[in-house]
A and B are shown apart, each in its own frame.
Chain A
Amino acid sequence: MSIPARLLQMLLTLAALSLVFYLLLGLMPGDPIDLALTADPRLTAADAERLRALHGLDRPLWARYLSWAGAVLRGDFGYSRLFARPVLALIGPALLSSLALLGLALGLAVLAGVGLGVLAALRPRLGPAVQGLAALAQAMPGFWLGILLIILFAVTLGWLPAGGAAEGGEPRWPFLVLPVATLAFGHMAAYARHALSAMRGAMADPWIRTARARGASEGRVALRHALPNAAVPLITLLGLDAGSLVSGAVITETLFARPGMGKLIFDAVMGNDYNLALVALLLVAGVTMLGNLAADLGQRALDPRLA
C-alpha cells in the first residue's frame, strides 16, 4: 500500500477510534456531576440537574459526540473540565515532558539492550549473564526499582531530587535521571533479548562465513554484516514502542510526581474529563500508527525483499 493510502487509512481509523473512545468514556458509570456530588455534600439534586444541563450532560451521547466532532473539525478541541484550561494548552507541556522522559529512556534502553545483546552474541560465555540481567530487568516492577533508586540517591545520598520537575532556572537533568533510569532498565530487557536472539541467528547465516573467510574481523562481521540483518525485528519493536513516547508512563510519572501524558490520560479518564481524555488517546493512537508506518518503511529500506 502506498504511503498516501496508508495515511488516509490512518485518518479513517482515527475517526472510527474517536467514536469508540467517546462511546466508551460516555458509557462509563457516573458522570462529572456524580463525581462532584460525592465531593460536595452541599450539592442538592436541583444543583445536579442544573449543572448537568449547563455542561450538556443531559443530551444523548450521540448528540454530544456530533457536537464534539463538529467543534474538532473547526479546530476547537475543547476545554478540560479537570484543569480549567483549553485541552491543547495542557497537552503541549505534558507531551514535551513525556517525550523527554520516554525518548531518553527508550534511547538508553536501545543502546544498552542492543549493546548487551550484540556483546552476548559475540561472547557466548556472557550469554547467561546478559540473559539473567534481562530476566531481572523484565521481572522487576518499575515502581519497586523506582523506590529503591529514590531511597538510595534522593533520601540517603541526597544527590538527586526524589521527584517533581525543574522550576524557574533549575537545571532539568537532575529531575530526569531517576525516572529515565527506572524506565530504561525495564525496556532494556526486551531489546537485549531480541538483539541476542536476532544476532545469534544472523551470525549463523552463510554470508557471515563468507565474510569471515574473506578475512573480516569479528567486530566488522558483527557490526557491518550481522547487525543490519538483525535490526529488522528490533525496528518492529521500536515502532510498537513509539506510541509509548506520547502515552507516557503512568506509574513512573506518578511515582516521581512528574507531569506527563501518562498521568494526564489517567486523570482525565478517572475524572470523566471527556475532551482531554479523547484528544490524548487519539494522539497516542495516531503516533502509534505513525510509528508502525515508520517501522515498515525502515524495514523496507533494510530488507528490499519486503518492499
Chain B
Amino acid sequence: MAVRGGAGLLAVLALLAGPATAQPRETLTIGITQYPSTLHPNIENMAAKSYVLGFTRRPLTAYDPNWALVCLQCETLPSIENGLAVREATPDGRPGLRLTYRLREGLKWGDGTPITAEDLLFAWQAGREDATGFGPAEFYRSAYELRVIDPRTIEMRLDRVTFDFASMGDFQPLPAHLERAVWQADPRAYRTRTLYDTAPTNPGLWSGPYRVSGVQPGAGITLARNPAWSGLAPQFREIRIRTVENTTALEAQLLSGQIDMIAGELGLPVEQAAALERRARGRFHVEYRPGLIYEHMDTNLDNPVLADRRVRQALLLATDRARIVAQLFDGRQTVAHGPVNPLDRMADPAIRQYPYDPARAAALLEEAGWRPGPDGIRRNEQGARLVLDLMTTAGNRSREQVQQVVAAMWRQAGIEARIRNEPPRVFFAETLSRRRHQGLAMYAWISAPEAVPRSSLHSDEIPSAARNFSGQNYPGFRNAEMDRLLEALPTTLDAEARRPLWARLQAIYAEELPSLPLWFRQDAHVWPLWLEGVRPTGHLNPTSLWAEEWRSR
C-alpha cells in the first residue's frame, strides 16, 4: 500500500522526536500487524492467534527458544526409553504407538476448574469429528484412540510411528465444562458458536498466565492476569495487544509512546527495524532472530531450459545473495544454502554452497549451449534467447526490490529475466498451485524444527489435474532417492540415524536445485530498554509462551 512510502520520511524525522511518554510499568502495550480471525486454539491457524494465545493458554508440548521440544502442560515427554511410548500394532496390523501423557499437578482454568484428562478427551473427540472444522486434521486421523486413565492421565494410540511422536502440536486441553455443551448441540455450528469467539472474556477458557479481558474486533485485545495460574507469577497487571497493520503507523505509535514494544513475529521488516535502531538509538532494544521462513525461487522443471541442472546452478551462481542481503536488508538475513535452517539440529554445515561466481556461471551456461548474443543475452544453437519469467507476489515491496536486483545480476550473466508479478491470491491460488509459472517463482515457505519437506519435494506431491492440484511440489521435482529419503525420515526414530538421511537430502537438494535458496528471514523484535526476559524463538511457537518471565527493570 502507498502509505509505506512514508516510512523513510518517518524514520528521518523521528530524529526530532522527544522522549516517549512513559507507560506505567504495570501495563505493557504491544503492537502487531495482524488481527486474529478467531481465538479458538484449533480453528484456523495464523501467527496473530498463536501470539495472543501464547499469553492465555498453554499447549501440552512446544518447542522452546532453544528449539528443543519441552512439556508445558504435561509432566514428561513420552519416549521409548522412559516407557511412556510403546511400539505396538494397530488393529489392522500396521505399526503404531501407544503414548501416555500425564498433566502437571495443579493446572486450572481461569475460573478455578481443574484442567483434567476429560478436557483432553473432549479436544480429541471434537477434532475427530469432521464437522467441527478444525484446521489440520492429520493428527486426529492418526490418533485413533484416546482413553482417560485417571483425572490427570491419558493414553493415546497412533496408527503410525514417526520420530516426532512426542510433539502434540496444537493438541491441547479444551475446557470441556464450558465447550462440550456448545459442541454437542451442533458440531457443524461449533466454529461459529464457540465461546472463544462469542464470549472470549469468560475466564474459564484460559489456562495461561493471562486471560482475555477485552476484545476490540480488528483493533486489539486486552489481557489481564489469570488468578488461577499456578506457574511463575507474571509481572504485568495488564497486557494490551494492538493491531496496526501498516508498519509506518506501527513505528509512529512506538515513537510516540502509544505502544511499548513491537512483536518480532508480526512486526517490522528487518530493514525498517535496522533503520529505527540506527535513528532512535538508545530508546529501544532490537533483537534479530533468524527464523524458519525460507525465501527461495521455485523453478519449473517442465521448462526445457530449467530442466538443465547446469542452468539452475548458473542462475544461483550469478545471484550475489550476500550483496543483496547486505544492501537491501542491512546484512540481517541469513543466506540459505538449502531448505534446512542452520539453527536446525539436522542442518548439514558441509552442504554444497554457491557463492557469487559469475565466471563459473558463465562456464556452466557455455557448457549447456548458451552463448553470448549481440545484445548481451545468451542464445542457444537454434538462436533462442535465454529469457526466463521471474515472478513474485505483487505489492511485496521487499521481494520486488530483490527481483529488480536479481534481474540486473542475471542480465550481467547474459540471462534476461522477464518480470511478471501477480497479486498474492492469484499467484498462490491460480499460478503456483496449478504449476502455471513458466520460469521462476519467488516466495517463502514456513516450517517447523526438523520438518520433513515431503509436501514440497516428494514426486507424489506434484500438483496435477488428476489429483485435483493437491501437493506443493511446484517445481515438479522427481528424484527416486529423494522420495526414499522423505519416506524413511519420519519413521526413523533415532536422531543419530536420521542425521545421515538429512545430510543426503540436503546434498541432493543442493546438487539438483529444484528451488534456488535465497535466505531465511529474520524476525526483528523491538522492545523498550526497561523490559527484560523476552526470549525470541524464531519458530512457530511464539515468544509469548514464556511471557510470565517478562520483567521490567
Contact = CB atoms under 8 A, between A and B. Distances in A.
Interface of A: 28-31, 34-51, 54-55, 79, 81-85, 90, 93-94, 141, 143-144, 146-148, 150-151, 154-158, 161-165, 167, 251, 254-259, 263-264, 267, 270-272
A35 B216 contact: no
A254 B246 contact: yes
Q: Which 7 A-B pairs have the closest CB atoms?
A: A45-B470, A30-B429, A147-B6, A84-B197, A42-B136, A34-B429, A40-B45
Interface in B229-264: 242-246, 248-250, 252-253, 255-258
A82 B192 CA distance: 11
B488 interface: no
Given A40-B45, A141-B2, 16 more contacts: A30-B425, A47-B135, A54-B130, A83-B218, A84-B37, A154-B256, A156-B13, A156-B18, A161-B253, A163-B252, A163-B258, A167-B220, A251-B1, A251-B2, A254-B249, A257-B242
Contacts of A161: 253, 256, 258
A151 B16 contact: yes
Contact of B244 (A55, A141, A163): A163
Which has the most chain B C-beta neighbours within 10 Å: A93, A162, A255? Answer: A162
B420 interface: no
Nearest to B9: A147
A34 B425 contact: yes
5 contacts: A85-B217, A90-B218, A163-B252, A257-B250, A272-B425
A141 B4 CA distance: 13
Interface string B431-474: 00100000000000111100100010000000000011011000
Given A38-B428, A85-B197, A156-B16, A255 B445 contact: no
Nearest to B243: A257
B44 interface: yes
A53 to B, nearest CB: 8
B46 to A, nearest CB: 6
Contacts of A264: 218
Contacts of A30: 425-426, 428-430
B138 interface: yes
B3 interface: yes
A90 B455 CA distance: 38
B402 interface: no
A55 B135 CA distance: 12
Interface residues of B, number: 71
A54 B430 contact: no
A155 B258 CA distance: 10
B219 A257 contact: yes
Contact of A41 (B253, B429, B455): B455
Given A39-B46, A154-B256, A156-B17, A162 B188 contact: no
Nearest to A81: B37
A158 B21 contact: yes
Contacts of A82: 37
A41 to B, nearest CB: 6
Interface string B264-296: 000000000000000000000000000000000
A143 B244 contact: no
Nearest to A145: B6
B188 A54 contact: yes
A155 B249 CA distance: 11
A241 to B, nearest CB: 22
Interface string B371-394: 000000000000000000000000
Nearest to B444: A38
B6 A143 contact: yes
A38 to B, nearest CB: 5
A36 B137 CA distance: 14
Contacts of B433: 34, 37
A87 to B, nearest CB: 11
A254 B138 CA distance: 38
A54 to B, nearest CB: 5
B430 A164 contact: no
A42 B17 contact: no
A222 B44 CA distance: 62
A165 B10 CA distance: 21
A162 B258 contact: yes
A8 to B, nearest CB: 35
B543 interface: no
